[in-house]
Structure 1
Amino acid sequence: RLVYQDMSGFLPEYERADAVKHPLYRARDKVVTISHHLAHAYSAFAVCPFNEGAIMIVDGVGSYRSDAMETYPDNEAGSQLARESESYYTFNGSQLDCLKKIWMEPDRGFLSDEFYNMPGLGALYSRASTYVFGDWNKCGELMGLAPYGRHDAIGPLMQIADNVLTVPRWSPDYNQPYVPDQDGKWENHPSMRHWEDLAWRVQDDTEKVLLARARWLRETTGAKNLCIAGGVALNCVANGRITRESGFDKVWIQPAAGDNGIAIGCAYYGLLELQQQPRRFVMKHSYTGKTYPDADVEAATRRTLVKAQTRAVRSDNICRDTAKLLTDQQVIGWFQGGSEFGPRALGHRSILADPRRPEMKDTINSRVKHRQPFRPFAPIVLAERAHEIFEGDEDSPFMLIAKPVRPEWRDRIPAIVHVDGTARVQTVTEDTNPILYRLLREFEALTGVPVLLNTSFNVKGEPIVETPRDAIACFLTTGIDHLILHDTMVSKTAAHRFIAPLVQTYMDVAGLVLSNVK
């Protein structure tokens, strides 16, 4: 808001007035803005576990060429209105150097076109998301749909030769877009086969281009370590191939790889570049959210409408008690510590379940998540056991690497195996998440399986729960069987069957009334 407060049309008036009052606005010499990919780069290398290496930044769209701050080789043709698509860097300690930038030119003028119509890698993925789902920001769903597509139905949409990427325009063949509020229910659309094929093609092209870029970066720099950020870094299937096939010894991916992670990059630019401080911190986990004391949990469970339909009991061994419920096929809401920074639920705001039965996926979808049935659920696994169950030895603490499930385990944990035989793995260590680690150990002791199904603690279209009150609200309005708040187990009583519909009716009526208030 501080950046745009002087630019008419970028902010509503009430936000503009608020920004002008901000103390940083009054002291203009204390405000520094940095370009988009530079912020992504700092978010990646400044908190990574390596002292030196290479950086890959790929997203939908970055800053204009005229706004790029860092020095870069000026051998790429483009106007001042071209936008960042890909950026490649090397780093040593706190020193960052730009090796190459890939620019996108506006297709029909910079104000007349959305970014996803530009000829870029991330932009094409968002264009396909818009075509299939009617929303440019459904890239995760597109990735989940891709394995259902036929490999030979659609020709390549991206081609790379001599390190030059070509992204052709949509051909007239792409005339079956999904139009929300016009085409009816998405799942029943007659174009589904075409959409599956397109999803596979875009995903396969993306993997091949990213892998070619990573191999070029490895050969050009000789670096052994790679850091990745930018929205495309949330493509865990492509990340898996980069990790296994690019030639880098180690790959680290910023867990807040999208634009929310830019806040980290801006902060570290100030620390390393402006204040000339050395790097000290390594981001081993993403549990940076506010922690809520037991008093907040108690207050949330003692609210009148909550007490009337639940029973809250403190447990002396919450991990053992929860593991027993999980083996009984109970769906658990799991709330611990501070929330995760980034889009993934990594065991502090999670819904957990037993992965040993294939029907558990449908159970969670129908009773809790209400999302498309093709989307996979992710496993959490004890880090020291991961290599026995999934291919590859690399850790995946942020659920950003897809790994093939070993054949002998696919029938043992079917609820987390996607149609292509892969899973989006989160490895758990005792030092980064001790209580989740203990839960996995307890579940393994009962079942012989050191894996749980994990999905975010929310319903489709809602944010992940943040507070104990949020968690209870989600618990009471879904088919979650039990809620764990720290060491308190909350269960629904028989009265919930009668009270919940009355509360829901009241909320529906209240929402209708408020929506009609002028």
Structure 2
Amino acid sequence: MWILGVNAPPTGWHDSAACLIDQDGRIVAFSEEERLNRRRHSLYRKPMSAARFVLAQAGLTPADIDVVALGWDSEQLYPRRFASDADFLAYAVGLDFGPRTPEVVRVPHHQAHAASSFYASPFRKAGVLVIDGHGENESSTVWTYEDGAEPRLERSWQRTASLGYAYDAASTWLGFSFLNAGKTMGLAAYGRAAGLATESLVDLTADDFRMAVAPLTEHHGTATADEIKEQYDTVVGRWRARYTEIAGADGPTAPEDALADDPKAVLVAYTAQRVVEETVTHLAALTRKAAGVEELCLSGGVALNCSTNGTLPGPLYVPPVPHDAGVALGAAWTVRPPRHHTTPLSPYQGTDIHGPDHTGRPPAPDTTGLLRTDLDTDTLTTLLMDGRIGAVAQGRAEVGPRALCRRSIIAVPDTAEVNTRVNRVKNREQWRPFAGVTRRDYGARLWEQQEHLSRYMLGAARATDLGREVAPGVVHIDGTTRPQVLHGDEAPAVGAVLDTLARRGAPPVLLNTSFNDKGEPIVNTAADAVAAFRAMDLDFLVLGDDLYRKPGRTGGDRR
């Protein structure tokens, strides 16, 4: 039995993705469409390339698929839009499944989110908290999941109580897209560092919460996509009006690259961040109480808020794909859960750097004019210790929005100035932070410990005195970092460098950020990596087992 999970239009209109699992719930391959079509977030685009890729990994054709699982109830949102499942699949996925139309299973959005988190976790039973902009009828839900049992929906909150909407309003007030919520989170840290007092915009009761900003008329029950869009515009509009009232302005007074110096912008970002932190902390406690266990899983777009995640006590698990792309996996797992999940999910499920992509063949990179040598760990480590900034593209790509050392830009973070240099390389705003990566034992000395969040770089942790001393380049303005702990040989080149740094008596920690230029998805294939290397002001590129440098940059002087 083969199950193709998708996040696809018309319901999944951003972060489309495809995932293939077998009859035992084992993942064969998983990819976001943006990695293949090179259009960030793949707005309104079907996951056709991602579906072709995952099928090619198993040597299958669309006709071999038994079930297509969608991470939305498309029938509720778009009633009577499609005459048949065959018509729906042609529109949503874009593949020709042949004369035998696969069964189409429409999994409610929050249930797909919940499944993607629980079954990726090492827990046998857990409370699962899903928080996002909205599903079909809700914005937050509490579940109990247990191996061998049907999932149980414990609580739900309506769309108008959406934390995602509150954060979207702040992001758009700041001039960002709602898909740039990470910028809002990074800016909010300047408010925390300054000790800003914010107005509380959420009322927490013993077993509930209520937003201070809501439409005059509450909306309950089911709604179509058009009705939800109208509700969204109303709620977000009222939140923006409240932020305008708080700031005394209807937008920032500084340009985007100077927002950290704009007190009004920082106040709005931090106010929204506090709304999320206060509410999620409360909901996490309610989830644990409802499930009767301390093990907690998070999912939904709000679970990408690393600052909030880092404030929650463990045991806590967030998957590498808590955003909407993850419902492709969660929908498939709802149809056929994995038989055994004793360790956290490996995020390395995407395209191999030298393997075939969705076309069935490996795109050949053009390395003309670049200087190639065999990859040597000592040489690579020396380049980094001498202040060089480079990129790594090895093995199968990560899934999710965090680069986890297989498609990463790396540097030694021994000065705060390296943050400025890497932001310049990536053409980012200078106020944005970076993450650090190290091994488990040394990480215990650098920052507060996180049992699972640091596996996927999904939780902020306060840096220790040693962390601030040896790795100031990855410590944000509020004293936190978003750490990654690298296990075993998950990312061979980066792991080898960390171990070599330790042998040389240097702090075994690196700055790690995604390998992509401004506005682009993370690189996927070797051809993507070489093109990005040429376009960006990088000193070296690890491509599989090769090391590439640019003419004139072969020395070891600190730049």
8 A contact 1:255–1:342 mirrored in 2: yes
Q: Partners of 2:457 and 2:93 in 1: how far apart?
A: 40
Q: How does 1:39-438 map to 2 (within 5 A)?
A: 39-64=112-137, 84-105=138-159, 118-149=160-191, 151-169=195-213, 170=239, 171=242, 173=245, 176-178=249-251, 185-188=255-258, 192-242=262-312, 244=313, 248=314, 250-272=315-337, 278-280=339-341, 282-293=343-354, 300=364, 303=366, 306-307=367-368, 309-315=369-375, 318-366=376-424, 368-392=425-449, 394-395=451-452, 396-438=454-496
Distance 1:30 1:294, change over 3 A: closer
Label 1:18 to 1:98 Cα distance change in 2 as closer, same or farther (>3 A).
closer
Structure 1 residue 133: Cα displacement = 2.4
Unaligned runs of 5+ in 2: 1-8, 11-73, 214-238, 555-559
Q: How far apart are the structure 2 equivalents of 1:39 and 1:100?
A: 15
CA contact (8 A) 1:94 1:278 kept: no
Does the 8 A contact of 1:337 with 1:348 survive in 2?
Answer: yes
Query: What's the secondary structure of 1:173's corresponding residue?
Result: helix
State the SS of the aligned residue for 1:365: helix
Does the 8 Å contact 1:53/1:225 carry over to 2?
Answer: yes
Measured in 2, the distance between the counterparts of 1:474 and 1:15 equals: 36
The number of residues matched between the two structures is: 442
Aligned AA for 2:266?
E
Residue identity in the other structure for 1:348: R
Query: Aligned-residue CA RMSD in angstroms?
Result: 3.1
Q: What residue number does 2:106 align with?
A: 33
TM-score (norm 1): 0.78
Cα separation, partners in 2 of 1:381 and 1:29, compared to 1, 3 Å: closer
**Which whole-Å CA distance do the structure 1 matches of 2:286 and 2:543 have between them?**
48
In structure 2, relative to structure 1, the CA distance for the partners of 1:94 and 1:409 (3 Å cut) is same
Q: Is the 8 A contact 2:259 2:266 kept in 1?
A: no
Q: Residues 191 and 456 from structure 1, CA distance in 2 versus in 1: closer, same or farther, beyond 3 angstroms?
A: closer
Structure 2 residue corresponding to 1:477, chosen from 513, 519, 535: 535
Change in CA separation of 1:190 and 1:360 when aligned onto 2, cut-off 3 Å:
closer
Question: Contact 2:258–2:431 at 8 Å: present in 1 too?
Answer: no
* 1:353 Cα deviation from its structure 2 partner: 0.2
Shift in Å at residue 217 of structure 1? 2.3
Determine helix, strand or coil for the equivalent of 2:409. strand
Q: Compared with structure 1, are the counterparts of its residues 294 and 314 closer, same or farther at alpha carbon in structure 2 (3 Å cutoff)?
A: farther
Q: Which of the pair has the greater relative contact order for Cα pairs under 8 Å at 6+ separation?
A: 2
Letter in 2 for 1:130: T
Deviation at 1:121, TM superposition (A): 1.4
Structure-1 separation of matches of 2:162 and 2:79? 30
Q: CA distance change for structure 1 residues 52 and 389 in 2, over 3 Å: closer, same or farther? A: same
Separation in 1 of the partners of 2:529 and 2:299?
30
Shift in Å, 1:493: 1.2
One-letter amino acid of the structure 1 residue matched with residue 329 of structure 2:
I
* TM-score calculated relative to the size of structure 2: 0.73
1:97 is displaced (CA, Å) by 3.1
Distance in 2 between residues matched to 1:191 and 1:390, nearest whole Å: 27
CA distance in 2, matches of 1:476, 1:21: 34
Greater shift, 94-103 or 22-31, is seen at 22-31
Inter-partner Cα distance in structure 1 for 2:388 and 2:80? 53
Deviation at 1:94, TM superposition (A): 3.5
